[in-house]
Amino acid sequence: MYDSWLLRVLRRGARVTETAPRPEQLAGAAVPVRLNLRGSLQLRHVDAGSCNGCELEIASIFSPFYDAEQYGIRLVASPRHADAALVTGPVTKNMAGPLRTTIEALGAPAIVIALGDCAKNCGVFAGAYGVEGSVTDVASVQLEIPGCPPAPADIIAALRGLSQT
């Protein structure tokens, strides 16, 4: 009889995914900015020129496995509905203007989050001909989340620290 890969895994009892982070792992991140967002955080994501590694991790934090929405963290389609801009990648010359426009459209105070090493210091794209600079060269950044790409648990911990009073 034909045994599929899934049946073999289920019979052996092997773990097919990583273990979910415990709440105490997510709650302990040190965050330099504390704002009164009443427990929720609406994010407008801006890809300023990334390799899409950070975007995969952003997508995974909203999956059923990590479920960032249980902590009140949501992605919104308009910067006018957002509390913060979540910026990934180095800022390319073509995206410097749209990034500034997006940040201006945020409500006051404008919170800018640089996600990943490329947003923080251009990463492997430093010195490239099409790169304007890091996010801090274009806007005032309130929170940096390091990593290439950052782990989903680290992203959630930093965002939860930002949204909790």
Collapsing DSSP states into helix, strand and coil, what is residue 42?
strand
Tell me, rounded to whole angstroms, the distance of Cα 140 from its chain centroid: 17
Residue 123: predicted pLDDT: 87
Q: pLDDT-based confidence at 127, cuts 50/70/90?
A: confident
pTM to 2 decimal places: 0.76
- 8-state DSSP, 123: G
pLDDT digits (tens, 9 = 90+) for 10-48: 666 655 555 556 555 555 444 444 455 566 899 999 999
Q: Domains (ranges, CATH) in the chain?
A: 35-163 (3.40.50.12280)
CB 134 within 8 A of CB 90: yes
Looking at residues 133-138, what average pLDDT do you find?
Answer: 93
- Sequential DSSP letters for 14-34: ---SPPPPPHHHHHT---S--
What does the pLDDT average to over 104-108? 86
pLDDT exceeds cutoff 90 at 126: no
Dihedral class, residue 21 (left if φ above 0, else alpha if ψ from -120 to 50, else beta) = beta
* 90/122 Cα distance (integer angstroms): 5
Residue 111 has pLDDT above 80, yes or no: yes
Per-residue model confidence (pLDDT) at position 107:
79
